[in-house]
Every structure is written in C-alpha cells, then in structure tokens.
Structure 1
Amino acid sequence: MTSLNAPANWPKAGDEIDPAKFGPFGESQLLRYAAASGDDNPLHLDRDLACAAGLEAPPVHGMLLMSCFEPALRVWRGDLVVARLAGKFLKPILVGEGVEISGRVVRASADGRPELTMRLIARGFGGDLAILAEATLVSAEAPA
C-alpha cells in the first residue's frame, strides 16, 4: 500500500544499490581530514605510531569512511536523504587501501512519512568486512 506521500517508484525490501568504490585513501587525505574535522589523533597521522600499535600503516579515520555511504546512496536515489546513520567498525582500512560500498533495503514504509531502512556494508578492496552500517532514508520532498 502506497501513501500519497511516497513517490510512485518507492523502493521495496530487497532492492540493492550498485557497489561504489572510494579510495585508495592517501596520507595527504588523512591530513586534510584531520585538519577539517579536528580529529588529529596521531594514530591516523604517524606511520611509526601506527606500526608500534601493531598496524602495518595508519588507519583511515572511521568518520571519513562513514562519509562514503552518503554519496553512494545519492547516486542510487538522489530523491532520498539520510536521516540517520549508525555503523559498527569491524576491521580498519589502512592508508593506501580503499572501500567498496554496497547495501540493500531491509524495510520500506510508505505510511505517514515514507522511510527506508538500509543495511550498508563497507568492504576493503580485498573483500574484508570493514563496516556494517544501518541508515534511515526519507524522501527529500516529504514534509518533516
């Protein structure tokens, strides 16, 4: 059942976004992100410190990786906006690596204010699961 608020082509459970690649992320990107975000944790910026912590290279900031979900969703459906995004970090992505974003609709509601719940995944280019996330998307044109 579709409400008057939902677009005629409202997504349904099981619909998937096309995979999108981001990166590889370089040291200069991490430096710029640290300056813009205020997250200047030396673990992300100092290769020797990262190695001392048992990593092969500095890890990419988690929020920088989380920011990759929104453009992937926007390419899939430019008529939707992210209302909520939460993620669990499972494996670090290191400098020189990138991620592939994928996802699918797990719940689609067209009642009241149309809303989607998306399960999102970020995998390293080697296939390792880095982030498991969930997003709530709403129509950009629906009233608040």
Structure 2
Amino acid sequence: MTSIHTFEPEVGATLPPPAIDPISRTTLALFAGASGDHNPIHVDLDVARGAGLDDVFAHGMLSMAYLGRLLTDAVPQDAIRSYRVRFAAITPVHGRPTCTGTVTAIDDVDGERRATVELAVALDDGTVTLLGDAVLAID
C-alpha cells in the first residue's frame, strides 16, 4: 500500500501529524455547512453565552475528521479496518488541535497484517479532546 508519509508499521511507531491551523470562526461555519451540523452553539456567540460558555466551540466531528486525515495520510482509506473515538473535552474557537497516533500492536488476522493505533487529539495547553483507536491493514 502506498502512503503519503513514510510510516514504518512497528510497535511504538508514531504517525506523522497533519498540520492544523487554530480553529477559526470561518472553519466552524464551513464545517457546519459541509457536515450539515448547524447547531448554533458552534457558530452563534449569543447561543454559546446563553448556555453559560464564554464562546463558541468546535464540532466534535471536526476533530474526528482531523484524526481521519492522520490515518489516511498514513495508509489508503480502504486500509482502515476500524476507527472509533470518545469525545473527552471541547475544542474552543482559536484552539490548535494536534493529532497523534501510536502503534500499540501488530497482529496477523486472517492472513492480513494489521496495526492497532492509539489515537488522541490534544490542545496546546495539554487538554485532550478526543481519545480513540484504529486498526489499519499494513503491508
């Protein structure tokens, strides 16, 4: 399988993280349109403040999409056997998410080598916003 980045599938290997700009209001508006998630708490400051927040925050699925890019930068999309996450905290507007993926196991399943990857998204202050894992078919 061809990868965009050099990814050496061995236990302890890390997937190269994608470059992600800080979350802007424009990013949130564009993602709302692209995803169909028009919940106003993500784009309307008055709604966010009415809910007791200081500002709007990113859609959880936006961070999940960034993790998806981490995976598809490492392997083709059809090599993803499973992908799951748990939302742990919100990503505030202007937050800068960093995606990480670390290989925790390599197994042979029905003649196919597979890597289990531990996933996370964290902000510059160390707040972890998403945790998850994926199983990838590897050469």
TM-score interval, smaller chain:
0.7 to 0.9
Separation in 1, partners of 2:129, 2:19? 13
**Alignment correspondent of 1:96:** 94
Deviation at 1:20, TM superposition (A): 4.1
1:45 to 25, 43, 46: 43
**Alignment correspondent of 1:121:** 120
Mapping of residues 59-70 of structure 1, within 5 Å: 59-70=57-68
Structure 1 residues 121, 69: closer, same or farther in 2, change over 3 A?
same
Structure 1 residues 21, 55: closer, same or farther in 2, change over 3 A?
farther
Listed as ranges, the gaps of 5+ residues in structure 1 are 1-8
**Alignment correspondent of 2:85:** 87
Deviation at 1:62, TM superposition (A): 0.8
Separation in 1, partners of 2:114, 2:106? 6
CA contact (8 A) 2:89 2:130 kept: yes
Structure with greater Cα Rg: 1
Q: Deviations over 1:34-75 (max 9, x none)?
A: 111111011111111112222222110111111111322344
Does the residue aligned with 1:55 lie in a helix, a strand or coil? coil
The share of aligned pairs that are identical, in percent, is: 27
Separation in 2, partners of 1:98, 1:10? 27
- Letter aligned with residue 52 of structure 2: G
1:16 to 14, 22, 26: 14
Over 6 Å off, 4+ runs: none
Deviation at 1:116, TM superposition (A): 1.3
CA contact (8 A) 1:85 1:136 kept: yes
**Alignment correspondent of 2:137:** 138
CA contact (8 A) 1:88 1:132 kept: yes
Separation in 1, partners of 2:92, 2:80? 26
Q: How many residues align?
A: 131
2:52 to 51, 54, 65: 54
- TM-score normalised to the size of structure 2? 0.81
Determine which structure has the larger strand proportion and give its number.
1
